[in-house]
A = this chain, B = another copy of it.
């Protein structure tokens, strides 16, 4: 069975909407961090028990996750985490590349000291974490940086869509990367490149040049995908690697 960290604190004063949002965020994070691997099955009743509710509110969350393409429920079969092939992944990347550039072009946000400070903070933490080679840590800070990047535009639909596509791709990226025999070196390489990306974009933001930030981001997304695709060409699989993620 899969192992995930427990649901942690549960605020007692949350309403129906808060509870919905909490469960939704948790499940989405688990899917994207491969706590639930693509193709694995989720049981509504298990989730209901874990969160201390009945199946009804859980189903509501699952419907939303299905609408976002992260899950697929089938009557009488189960709810499985979606898996996509490389051609679909290529399409999503193709689109993400364009949207990244648009973040720097459409409805720019006002850049104040607080925003710059956030970028500097992530940059500093990234510099500290680069030596740790922890894929989970990499995914988390990558996710955090992504959210910060999208705040560069005030175009809310653009942010929503970018977010959705991001969550669809990162887990597949991580899954593909984790299968490579050269995973350790690849991860280290990716971490260094990501460090440079954060540095470049932070400086672009400091100069108030959002278009530059968008172009840097665009280039890095495109290169990241082409690196993965090139590395995956020989299709050298290393089995039992998933022990890195679940201690069973």
Please tell me if the beta carbons of A95 and B91 are within 8 angstroms of each other in the complex: no
Since A59-B60, A95-B106 are in contact, a sample of 15 more A-B pairs with Cβ atoms closer than 8 Å, ordered by chain A residue number, is: A15-B75, A63-B63, A64-B67, A67-B67, A67-B68, A91-B106, A91-B107, A91-B155, A91-B156, A91-B158, A94-B107, A98-B98, A98-B102, A157-B168, A161-B161
Which label, helix, strand, loop or mixed, suits the secondary structure of the A interface? helix
Q: How many copies does the complex hold?
A: 2
Residue of B nearest to A92 (CB): B157
Q: Is A16 an interface residue (CB 8 A)?
A: yes
Question: CA A75 – CA B60 in complex, angstroms?
Answer: 14
Q: A107 to chain B: which residues have CB within 8 Å?
A: 91, 94
Residues of chain B contacted by A156 (CB below 8 angstroms): 88, 91
CB neighbours of A106 from chain B (8 A):
91, 94-95, 98
- Which bracket fits the contact residues of A? 20 to 34
In the complex, per-residue mask of A118-143: 1 if CB is within 8 Å of any chain B CB, else 0: 00000000000000000000000000
Identify the interface centre among A64, A94, A154: most chain B CB within 10 Å of its CB: A94
A103 CA / B168 CA spacing, docked (Å): 20
Per-residue CB contact flags for chain A residues 86-124 toward chain B (1 = under 8 Å, else 0) read 001001101100100010001100000000000000000
Q: Which residues of A65-96 are within 8 A (CB) of B?
A: 67-68, 75, 88, 91-92, 94-95
**Is A47 an interface position by the 8 A CB rule?**
no
Please give the distance in Å from A102's CB to the nearest CB on chain B: 6
Can you sample 15 A-B contacts with CB below 8 Å?
A63-B63, A63-B64, A64-B64, A67-B67, A91-B106, A91-B107, A91-B154, A91-B155, A91-B156, A95-B106, A95-B157, A95-B158, A98-B98, A98-B102, A161-B161
Interface, chain A (partner B; CB < 8 A): 15-17, 59-60, 63-64, 67-68, 75, 88, 91-92, 94-95, 98, 102, 106-107, 154-158, 161, 165, 168
| Residue numbers in B under 8 Å from A75 (CB-CB) | 15-17
